[in-house]
Structure 1
Amino acid sequence: MAPDPKLRSADLPSQKQVIELLDGEFARAGYEIDQVVVDAAARPPRITIVADGDNGLDLDSVAELSRTASELLDQLDRTGDTPYVLEVTSPGVDRPLTEHKHFRRARGRKVELTLADGAQLTGRVGQGDTESVEIVVRDGRDFAVRRIELADVVKAVVQVEFSPPSPRELELAGETGKGA
């Protein structure tokens, strides 16, 4: 397969090259690369790296990963004197939860689920495994834990919360000591 002429004209590395170059360093820092977008058509050209880890991605980590990525990318002959914007970012709250690791990282967070049978469910992510996840849901004035098979989840998105969850809800989610 011939290289993309847009990438060649901008002298930027390919998505695959960026991942191969940075994956090990990001992993050593405790993060994994979720996505790389190389946009040579943008002015200036842009390389965006979306990274995530089990404890999220704070601003200090973004800065450190950005420095590491910049140093390694600057060593490539391909970039030469071509100016480009490098952005290291987290997936954001609007990223759908599609894999076990996404649910694991969202543990303790409120999510909205759409199930294969069309049912919609809002609850807090609890413990899980590669096949299922526990969701803490309202049950009258109390809470209950439902085990949901990941194969039955059609859509899952983290919800933004403006008030702290109840200690009981967090306890059921396995997040004792993190709430109000």
Structure 2
Amino acid sequence: MPMPSEEKVSDLVAAVIEGLGFDLEGVQISRAGRLSTVRILVDGEAGVSLDEIATLSNEVSAKLDTIDDFGAAPYTLEVTTPGTDRPLTLERHWRRARGRKVQVQTATETFEGRVGQLDDGSVDIVIRSKSGPTVRALALDEVERAVVQVEFSPPNARELELTGGVAEGRPAPGAAPVDLEHEGTDE
């Protein structure tokens, strides 16, 4: 029996993910011969920890095991976050990206700035200029594409101040990566 569609898998797992307090950001199914990979993309207001990914993975796996649509077809389940290359398409994406540097494309221009406050279909973008950072309001419906940029250095303090700071629960731009091997230990 063939793999169910991405839409069917989305319908099956959405309630489980939302019930645990997260958002389903997408489902991707890729096939390689007889093997398939089902990738479930999730996010939350404060991000998603590794422990939460494990819980989500167990719950989603249990839900998928209850249906016959997968039949005897082997598949690998991956539960993950969307990553930095996900386009900002929904208001929640912009809210969660506050403080991050983004590349924005509109019908007339492409520019970089730092995501600020979101307000009723508009977002403030902090733009660098020769006279210092300035705030520009941008209607979300003018945005054709926006993607968070990876930063290796801490941001300009004044720019970050103008954004209202980093969204709660999100890592600061340019922050050192978390050492997962020693996280939560005194080493």
| TM-score for the superposition, normalised by structure 2 | 0.79
Q: Partner of 1:138 in structure 2?
A: 128
Q: Partner of 1:160 in structure 2?
A: 150
Percentage identity across aligned positions?
45
Shift of 1:40: 5.1
Shift of 1:81: 4.1
Query: Given that residues 38 and 75 in structure 2 are in contact (C-alpha distance below 8 angstroms), is that contact kept between their aligned partners in structure 1?
Result: yes
| TM-score for the superposition, normalised by structure 1 | 0.82
Query: Given that residues 108 and 124 in structure 1 are in contact (C-alpha distance below 8 angstroms), is that contact kept between their aligned partners in structure 2?
Result: yes
Q: Secondary structure at the match of 2:138?
A: strand
Q: Partner of 1:20 in structure 2?
A: 11
Count of residues paired in the alignment: 170
Q: Partner of 2:37 in structure 1?
A: 46
C-alpha RMSD of matched pairs (Å): 2.3
Q: RCO greater where, 1 or 2, for CA within 8 Å and sep 6 or more?
A: 2
1:136-180 deviations in Å (ceiling 9; x for gaps): 111325211110111221221110000111222211101179578
Q: Secondary structure at the match of 1:136?
A: strand
Q: Residue type matched to 1:14 in 2?
A: S
- Name structure 1 gaps, 5 residues minimum: 1-8
**More displaced 10-residue stretch of structure 1: 52-61 or 28-37:** 52-61
Detail structure 1 runs of 4+ shifted over 6 Å in the superposition: none
Q: Secondary structure at the match of 1:45?
A: strand
Q: 2: CA distance between counterparts of 1:89 and 1:162?
A: 22
Asked if 1:64 is matched to 2:55, the reply is yes
Q: 1: CA distance between counterparts of 2:110 and 2:31?
A: 40
Query: Given that residues 100 and 130 in structure 1 are in contact (C-alpha distance below 8 angstroms), is that contact kept between their aligned partners in structure 2?
Result: no
1:70-115 deviations in Å (ceiling 9; x for gaps): 1111122333443211111221211221222221121111001122
1:26-58 deviations in Å (ceiling 9; x for gaps): 112221112212345544122121122222233
Q: Secondary structure at the match of 1:82?
A: coil
